[in-house]
């Protein structure tokens, strides 16, 4: 009974955001050229939406591979061993409605496999398992209490309960107006959040590449709504069973090949021209342009685009305000020992200082499993989503990751590293306080110019890979509108929380 009432109150867990006029045509009847800057998930999704409709699409990617933060590229070690590495672990949550539909379209969904548990390991509070938590919104909160993840009695004190209600009252404009200027750290201190719940929320917060003192409480409320309080699919997710080059981008390339999409690799765009109503990239003019570069390169491109700055100063300035988050680090190691016990292949860790997660790659990826079968040991990825500002040396970060890894898994003591690949980067989107007001949306005031990426403001609650895909879908639909073509459906979780 309660499950039906909750679903009815939310008006269903999967909703279509836009109305589609099925009388409109699907295909163009005259050539239109679209430039896509950035070959990451947002840019490739935009191409996959536009090319089958008859648009002539050209993608410009600065790297030698497609995929961006979901990319995969080859490395060769000193002894000649060759393999592919990635930017870091990615989970495909089951309420990523638009992304999963796209994966089915390009025939990549067949490579998805489920994770067995959502696990947080701590040094002082034990382990927190979410795999058997009730999946229905609100009931999942009660289920967490029953499994001793937090004390329901403690949280039912009048003051704490009142402060926690906004988690159930998500409503985009109201939530951001009230909470975007508040940090998650401030919220924890004001509410006196119990240490167990603070741990769960901190782990969740850092997954968006921000320490608690920087993370916008409004963004955290939105993400908690999106992942936990707006669907009955649970907190578990799926992953691709081999490196992204094989399981994601080969299917994308195969899908796009009949439409003759031009994928220009190692071709950075440093400026955008504008003349006679045409957008210009590398001396070629286009009817439309989708800027899907990351937050580090986007302001640079706009700063160099003198035509746009002169003709559309306010629009250009707004796009230039996008910000990158803190530095983060990813260390993949091939070692001669393996972790004991039966664990899920991705584990959150309560960082002693910086280690946020450990991925057991040989339990997830076929290529990694083959290496371990032949050589023994294990392949692990150590990830810190937000490096403290005082840690500026890569060697110090690497050493700290290894120290915390061994602290959590002491059975590995004395292990030898056979290979390693270290990334120390600063190009992830910021979801810090006070950014919502100036965050640009997918439509700009520049004719024919649209934005896509996980950093773009959307009218629907979505995060990370789903936000990147959905922003590309919104941008493509705007181009369809301009050409009087039928839109693609945009699916979403409920727009408002159950108590909004």
- pLDDT (tens digit, 9 = 90+) per residue, 360-371? 999 999 999 999
Q: Report the alpha-carbon distance of residue 44 to residue 446 in Å, rounded.
A: 22
**Which candidate, 322, 275, 326, 273, places its Cα nearest to that of 300?**
322
Which residue bears the tokens 């890979």? 465
The predicted structure's pLDDT at residue 284: 97
Over residues 324-353, the pLDDT tens digits come to 999 999 999 999 999 988 899 999 999 999
Q: Report the alpha-carbon distance of residue 411 to residue 286 in Å, rounded.
A: 58
> What is the chain's Cα-based Rg?
23
The predicted structure's pLDDT at residue 146: 84
Residue 92, φ and ψ in degrees, nearest 5? -105, 90
The predicted structure's pLDDT at residue 198: 79
Is the separation of the CB atoms in 43 and 51 below 8 Å? no
Give the tokens for residue 338: 């393996």
Sign of CA dihedral 470, 471, 474, 475: negative
**Which candidate, 110, 56, 484, 33, places its Cα nearest to that of 256?**
56
DSSP for 405-422?
Answer: HHHH-GGGTT--EEEEEE
3-state secondary structure of 404: helix
Give the tokens for residue 97: 């409605």
Spatial neighbors of 36 by CB under 8 A, at least 6 apart, are 43, 46, 47, 57, 58, 59, 60, 289, 290, 292
The predicted structure's pLDDT at residue 126: 86
The predicted structure's pLDDT at residue 196: 77
CB neighbours of residue 235 within 10 Å: 18
The predicted structure's pLDDT at residue 157: 65
For residue 186, give the DSSP letter: H
Alpha helices, DSSP H, located in 113-183: 139-146, 152-155, 158-164, 172-179
DSSP for 442-498?
Answer: SB-SSTTEEE-STTSB-SS---HHHHHHHHHHHHHHHHHHHTT-PPPP-EES-SB-T
Give the tokens for residue 334: 């091939």
Q: Report the alpha-carbon distance of residue 35 to residue 46 in Å, rounded.
A: 10
Give the tokens for residue 222: 């939105």
The predicted structure's pLDDT at residue 158: 54
Mean per-residue pLDDT of the chain = 94
Give the tokens for residue 432: 């810090």
Beta strands in 300-404 (DSSP E): 328-335, 346-349, 357-360, 378-384
Give the tokens for residue 122: 């701590």
Spatial neighbors of 30 by CB under 8 A, at least 6 apart, are none
The predicted structure's pLDDT at residue 163: 78
**Which candidate, 238, 257, 298, places its Cα nearest to that of 109?**
238
Q: Report the alpha-carbon distance of residue 450 to residue 141 in Å, rounded.
A: 39
For residue 248, give the DSSP letter: I
Q: How far apart are the first and last CA of the chain?
A: 21
Query: Are β-strands 237-240 and 33-37 bridged in parallel, bridged antiparallel, or unpaired?
Result: unpaired
Give the DSSP H/E element, type plus range, for residue 2.
helix 2-9
Mark the ranges of the chain whose per-residue pLDDT is less than 50.
none
């Amino acid at each position: 009974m309660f499950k039906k009432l909750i679903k009815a109150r939310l008006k269903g867990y999967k909703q279509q955001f836009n109305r589609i006029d099925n009388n409109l045509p699907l295909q163009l009847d005259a050539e239109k050229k679209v430039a896509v800057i950035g070959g990451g998930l947002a840019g490739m999704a935009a191409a996959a939406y536009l090319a089958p409709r008859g648009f002539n699409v050209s993608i410009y990617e600065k790297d030698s591979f497609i995929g961006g933060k979901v990319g995969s590229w080859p490395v060769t070690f000193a002894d000649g061993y060759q393999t592919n590495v990635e930017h870091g672990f990615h989970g495909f949550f089951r309420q990523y409605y638009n992304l999963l539909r796209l994966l089915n379209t390009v025939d990549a969904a067949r490579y998805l496999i489920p994770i067995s548990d959502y696990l947080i390991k701590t040094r002082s509070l034990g382990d927190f398992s979410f795999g058997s938590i009730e999946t229905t919104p609100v009931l999942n909160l009660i289920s967490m209490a029953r499994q001793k993840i937090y004390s329901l009695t403690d949280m039912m004190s009048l003051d704490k309960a009142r402060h926690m209600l906004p988690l159930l009252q998500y409503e985009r404009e109201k939530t951001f107006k009230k909470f975007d200027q508040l940090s998650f750290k401030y919220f924890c201190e004001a509410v006196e959040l119990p240490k167990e719940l603070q741990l769960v929320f901190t782990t969740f917060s850092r997954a968006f590449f921000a320490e608690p003192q920087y993370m916008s409480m409004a963004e955290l409320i939105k993400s908690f709504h999106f992942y936990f309080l707006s669907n009955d699919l649970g907190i578990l997710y799926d992953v691709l069973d081999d490196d992204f080059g094989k399981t994601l981008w080969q299917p994308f390339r195969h899908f796009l090949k009949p439409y003759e999409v031009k994928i220009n690799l190692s071709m950075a765009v440093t400026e955008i021209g504008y003349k006679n109503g045409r957008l210009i990239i590398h001396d070629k003019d286009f009817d439309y342009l989708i800027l899907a570069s990351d937050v580090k390169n986007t302001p640079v491109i706009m700063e160099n685009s003198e035509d746009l700055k002169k003709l559309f100063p306010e629009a250009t300035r707004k796009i230039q305000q996008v910000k990158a988050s803190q530095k983060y680090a990813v260390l993949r190691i091939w070692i001669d020992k393996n972790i004991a016990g039966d664990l899920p292949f991705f584990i959150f860790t309560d960082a002693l200082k910086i280690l946020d997660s450990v991925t057991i790659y040989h339990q997830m990826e076929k290529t990694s499993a083959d290496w371990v079968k032949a050589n023994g040991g294990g392949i692990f990825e150590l990830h810190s989503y937000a490096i403290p500002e005082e840690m500026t040396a890569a060697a110090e970060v690497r050493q700290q990751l290894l120290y915390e890894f061994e602290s959590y898994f002491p059975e590995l003591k004395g292990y030898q590293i056979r290979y390693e690949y270290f990334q120390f980067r600063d190009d992830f989107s910021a979801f810090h306080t006070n950014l919502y007001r100036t965050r640009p949306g997918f439509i700009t005031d520049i004719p024919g110019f649209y934005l896509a990426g996980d950093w773009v403001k959307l009218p629907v609650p979505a995060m990370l890979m789903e936000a990147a895909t959905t922003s590309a879908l919104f941008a493509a639909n705007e181009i369809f509108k301009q050409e009087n073509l039928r839109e693609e459906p945009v699916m979403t979780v409920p727009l408002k929380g159950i108590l909004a």
